[in-house]
């Protein structure tokens, strides 16, 4: 089975995620970009698994763990967004410039 | 396939799990004025977790579970001991700070203990999935803890920056791990070590290893991936900063070293130069930026970046030279252990000093030693120890570092040693600046001669323990050497 097209798709999604994370100013959109990157990794793992076909489906198990952790991470991220929004009525990261990067 | 679980070997983790559940339950039932019991439970539970660690260390048996994915050997025990002790000290620092500023207490201790649990898991992890879960469990709660001062704009900012960079680094790390899995079909370290042999020229493998390194470099805030650290450290509540710069950094380091040393030894020609660059850049950038800081927490943030560089030096040097990698590895672990103890102490003095002078500026601490001699002496102990002045523990960390570099030999190694030596001198300058302000400058008139609120018992205890450890290890470095020896007995599992 060809695995290349899946890897290219995953690489494209990952790059889109990195681009979105660097360019977007809204925290919610940044969260979405992060999800895009993590899901690119999932595609990678599942594609590799279909090629390797290991005895205990390691790649797919890894994917399930990543999906779970990503859900928890988005939960944390949204909590932070809510906190920021309550304090300053906006979810724009370019307002967060009290300290130099 | 066997799924036998050795409950004694898992006891430290289990004790922490029970403690964090107890803290959560207590938080539910206690009324507002009695919330401090959650802190008591957390401190007691963390102390209890040390008991099974001691029992396991005395038994000295290597336990390997889940087909070698989870290993309790001497290396894991040494680092778990470090994590438990530094978590205990951070809990002591937190106690009064969190109570006096009217934060939510129960959730704070729950999240902090969850993070401790993650670091304990990480010391035993011998496959990529468990390592990833441990890493996320360590950092996840810290995104929230960094923003614990909810109304404070700086704390909000700290939390957002840490979160964005944290998840970005996780994604990059996972991408690298998925490529490692795809190229080898293995996720256990032992399996990867054999399957990666001869793949060092594979372009996809080089990309995979570099992604893994970049992911970890963010986690340990090594330059040039360090820019989130000073802002997060400054904005977060000080006990959380202490935890970030000690436990979470040490946990990231442990994971980084484990992956390089156990899983990818065959690919050292890819990662050794990368580590060399990270070490040199972290030391230089960290120290040069620290020179210009006026805020004490920011100074310690840059100092911890520079110290991360020093920590990488022996391991990177040995890997570049290709000889005495065990020596380099144990020197890095010795440095890590000593750094953790003295840095917790330094942050304890920051909390005490900020409490006394109501400012975090170095100039605001002028004459502190004349008003409060005990605090002044403690500041002297920890900052001179960080600079590496004998007879305080820091000198032995630096000594072990340079010894491992000399053992490794080779031109690239000598260049790294020279960079490290120059940086050690630069570092002395800014550590000494703090001590000069405290002891030689005159106190401004508005600082009251007596403290309004004396430092709490728990803060004093934390200062006492870390100062005692810093001095004792400085006089008897055999303790730290023992740690290093134990770290050499490292089981790959599988």
Q: What is the pLDDT of residue B266?
A: 86
CB distance A64 to A70 below 8 Å: no
Q: What is the pLDDT of residue B73?
A: 85
Closest CA to B311 of B224, B221, B225, B213: B221
pTM over 0.95: no
Measured from the Cβ of residue B55, the count of other Cβ atoms closer than 10 Å reads: 12
Indicate yes or no: CB of A38 within 8 angstroms of CB of B171: yes
CB of B188 less than 8 A from some CB of A:
no
Sign of CA dihedral B399, B86, B262, B286: negative
CB of A9 less than 8 A from some CB of B:
no
For residue B263 the two structure tokens come to 């899983």
Q: Residue A49 — φ and ψ, nearest 5°?
A: -60, -40
**DSSP code, position A38:** H
Rounded to 10 degrees, what is the CA torsion of B470, B476, B478, B481? 30
**DSSP code, position A89:** S
Q: Is residue B446 pLDDT above 90, yes or no?
A: no
The arithmetic mean of pLDDT across residues B213-227, rounded, is: 90
Out of B140, B159, B187, closest to residue A73 by CB: B140
Q: How far apart are CA A63 and CA A40, in angstroms?
A: 11
Indicate yes or no: CB of A59 within 8 angstroms of CB of B161: no
The domain spans of chain B are 268-494
Q: Is residue B439 pLDDT above 60, yes or no?
A: yes
* pLDDT tier, A89 (very low <50, low <70, confident <90, very high otherwise): confident
Q: Give chain B's mean pLDDT.
A: 88
* pLDDT tier, B345 (very low <50, low <70, confident <90, very high otherwise): very high
For residue B428 the two structure tokens come to 């002395």
* pLDDT tier, B30 (very low <50, low <70, confident <90, very high otherwise): confident
Query: For residue A6, which residues of chain B lie inside 8 Å, CB to CB?
Result: none
Q: How far is CA A16 from CA A6, A33, A35, A36, B161, in A?
A: 15, 7, 11, 8, 20
Q: Is residue B407 pLDDT above 90, yes or no?
A: no
Interface of B with A in 349-408 (CB under 8 A): none
Query: For residue A100, which residues of chain B lie inside 8 Å, CB to CB?
Result: 231
Interface test with A, best of B2, B110, B169, B178 (most A CBs within 10 A): B178
Min distance A41 CA to chain B CA atoms (Å): 5
CATH architecture of A4-95: Orthogonal Bundle (1.10)
Q: Is residue B354 pLDDT above 80, yes or no?
A: yes
Q: What is the pLDDT of residue A55?
A: 80
Q: Is residue B494 pLDDT above 50, yes or no?
A: no
Q: Each residue of A65-86: pLDDT tens digit?
A: 999 999 999 999 999 989 888 8
For residue B472 the two structure tokens come to 């004792």
Query: For residue A45, which residues of chain B lie inside 8 Å, CB to CB?
Result: 178, 181-182
3-state secondary structure chain B: CCCCCCCCCCHHHHHHHHHHHHHHHHHHHCCHHHCHHHHHHHHHHHHHHHHHHHHHHHHCCCEEECCCCEEECHHHHHHHHHHHHHHHHHHHHHHHHHHHCCCCHHHHHHHHHHHHHHHHHHHHECEHHHHHHHHHHHHHHHHHHHCCCCCCHHHHHHHHHHHHHHHHHHHHHHHHHHHHHHHHCCCEHHHHHHHCCCCCCCHHHHHHHHHHHHHHHHHCCCCCCCCHHHHHHHHCCHHHHHHHHHHHHHHHHHHHHHHHHHHCHHHHHHHHHHHHHHHHHHHHHHHHHHHCCCEHHHHHHHHHHHHHHHHHHHHHHHHHHCCCHHHHHHHHHHHHHHHHHHHHHHHHHHHHHHHHHCCCECHHHCCHHHHCHHHHHHHHHHHHHHHCCCCCCHHHHHHHHHHHHHHHCCHHHHHHHHHHHHHHHHHHHHHHHHHHHHHCCCCCCCCCCCCCCCCCHHHHHHHHHHHHHHHHHHHCCHHHHHHHHHHHCCCCCC
Q: Residue B311 — φ and ψ, nearest 5°?
A: -65, -35
Q: How far is CA B88 from CA B100, B152, B353, in A?
A: 19, 27, 21
Q: Chain A residue closest to B178 (CA)?
A: A45
Closest CA to B354 of B452, B246, B457: B452
Lowest mean pLDDT among B51-60, B96-105, B215-224: B96-105
Lowest mean pLDDT among B4-18, B192-206, B332-346, B479-493: B479-493
**DSSP code, position A10:** H
CB of B128 less than 8 A from some CB of A:
yes
Q: How far apart are CA B144 and CA B434, in angstroms?
A: 31
Q: How far apart are CA A50 and CA B437, in angstroms?
A: 64
Residues 6+ apart with CB under 8 A from B392: B342, B381, B384, B385, B470, B471, B474
Q: Is residue B283 pLDDT above 90, yes or no?
A: yes
* pLDDT tier, B447 (very low <50, low <70, confident <90, very high otherwise): low
CB of A25 less than 8 A from some CB of B:
no
Q: How far apart are CA B277 and CA B400, in angstroms?
A: 20
Query: Can you tell me the ipTM of this complex?
Result: 0.94
Between CA B381 and CA B389, with CA B384 as vertex, the angle to 5 degrees is 115
CB of B154 less than 8 A from some CB of A:
yes
Query: For residue B178, which residues of chain A lie inside 8 Å, CB to CB?
Result: 41, 44-45, 48, 62
Q: Is residue B42 pLDDT above 60, yes or no?
A: yes
CB of A21 less than 8 A from some CB of B:
yes
Out of B157, B181, B230, closest to residue A62 by CB: B181
Q: How far is CA B181 from CA A48, A51, B25, B233, B293, in A?
A: 8, 11, 40, 34, 43
Q: Each residue of A15-47: pLDDT tens digit?
A: 999 999 888 888 889 999 999 999 999 999 999
Q: What is the pLDDT of residue B12?
A: 92
* pLDDT tier, B452 (very low <50, low <70, confident <90, very high otherwise): low
Q: Each residue of B361-399: pLDDT tens digit?
A: 888 888 888 888 888 999 999 999 999 888 888 889 999
The arithmetic mean of pLDDT across residues A76-101, rounded, is: 79
Q: What is the pLDDT of residue B64?
A: 84
Residues 6+ apart with CB under 8 A from B94: B39, B108, B109, B112, B239
Cα B137 to chain center, whole Å?
15
Lowest mean pLDDT among A33-37, B229-233, B425-429, B450-454: B450-454
Between CA B337 and CA B343, with CA B276 as vertex, the angle to 5 degrees is 25
Interface of A with B in 46-85 (CB under 8 A): 47-48, 51-52, 54, 58-59, 61-62, 65-66, 69, 72-73, 76-77, 79-80, 83-84
Q: What percent of chain B has pLDDT over 90?
A: 46
Residues 6+ apart with CB under 8 A from B162: B142, B143, B146, B228, B232, B236
């Amino acid at each position: 089975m060809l695995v290349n097209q899946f890897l290219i798709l995953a690489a494209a999604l990952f790059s889109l995620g990195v681009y979105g994370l660097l360019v977007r100013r809204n925290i919610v959109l940044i969260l979405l970009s992060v999800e895009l990157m993590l899901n690119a990794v999932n595609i990678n793992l599942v594609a590799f698994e279909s090629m390797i076909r290991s005895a205990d489906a390691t790649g797919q198990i890894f994917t399930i763990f990543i999906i779970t952790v990503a859900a928890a991470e988005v939960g944390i991220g949204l909590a932070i967004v809510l906190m920021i929004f309550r304090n300053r009525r906006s979810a724009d990261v370019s307002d967060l410039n009290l300290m130099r990067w | 396939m066997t799924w036998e679980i050795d409950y004694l070997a898992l006891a430290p983790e289990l004790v922490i799990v029970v403690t964090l559940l107890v803290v959560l339950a207590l938080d539910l039932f206690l009324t507002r004025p009695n919330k401090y019991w959650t802190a008591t439970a957390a401190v007691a539970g963390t102390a209890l977790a040390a008991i099974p660690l001691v029992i396991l260390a005395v038994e000295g048996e290597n336990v390997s579970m889940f087909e070698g994915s989870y290993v309790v050997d001497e290396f894991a025990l040494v680092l778990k001991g470090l994590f438990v002790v530094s978590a205990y000290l951070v809990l002591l620092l937190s106690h009064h700070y969190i109570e006096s500023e009217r934060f939510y207490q129960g959730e704070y201790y729950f999240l902090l203990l969850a993070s401790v649990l993650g670091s304990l898991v990480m010391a035993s992890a011998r496959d990529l999935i468990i390592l990833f879960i441990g890493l996320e469990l360590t950092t996840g709660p810290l995104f929230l803890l960094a923003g614990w001062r909810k109304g404070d704009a700086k704390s909000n900012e700290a939390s957002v920056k840490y979160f964005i960079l944290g998840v970005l680094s996780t994604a990059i790390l996972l991408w690298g791990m998925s490529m490692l899995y795809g190229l080898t079909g293995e996720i256990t370290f032992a399996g990867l070590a054999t399957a990666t042999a001869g793949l060092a020229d594979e372009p996809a493998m080089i990309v995979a290893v570099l992604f893994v390194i970049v992911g970890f470099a963010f986690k340990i805030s090594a330059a040039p991936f360090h820019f989130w650290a000073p802002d997060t450290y400054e904005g977060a509540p000080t006990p959380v900063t202490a935890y970030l710069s000690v436990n979470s950094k040490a946990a990231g380091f442990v994971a980084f070293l484990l992956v390089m040393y156990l899983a990818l030894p065959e690919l050292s020609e890819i990662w050794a130069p990368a580590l060399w660059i990270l070490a040199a850049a972290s030391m230089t950038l960290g120290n040069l930026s620290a020179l210009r800081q006026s805020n004490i927490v920011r100074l310690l943030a840059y100092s911890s970046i520079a110290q991360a560089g020093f920590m990488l030096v022996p391991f990177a040097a040995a890997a570049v030279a290709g000889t005495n990698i065990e020596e380099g590895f144990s020197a890095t672990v010795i440095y890590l252990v000593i750094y953790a103890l003295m840095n917790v102490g330094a942050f304890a003095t920051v909390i005490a000093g900020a409490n006394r002078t109501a400012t975090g500026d170095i100039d605001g601490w002028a004459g502190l030693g004349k008003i409060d001699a005990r605090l002044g002496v403690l500041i002297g102990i920890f900052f001179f120890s960080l600079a590496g002045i004998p007879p305080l523990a820091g000198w032995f960390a630096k000594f072990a570092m340079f010894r491992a570099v000399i053992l490794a030999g080779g031109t690239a190694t000598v260049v790294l040693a020279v960079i490290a030596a120059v940086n050690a001198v630069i570092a002395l300058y800014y550590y000494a600046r703090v001590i000069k302000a405290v002891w030689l400058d005159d106190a401004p008139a508005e600082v009251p001669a007596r403290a309004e609120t004396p430092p709490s018992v728990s803060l004093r205890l934390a200062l006492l323990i870390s100062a005692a450890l810093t001095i004792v290890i400085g006089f008897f470095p055999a303790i730290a050497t023992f740690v290093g020896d134990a770290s050499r007995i490292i089981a790959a599992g599988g």
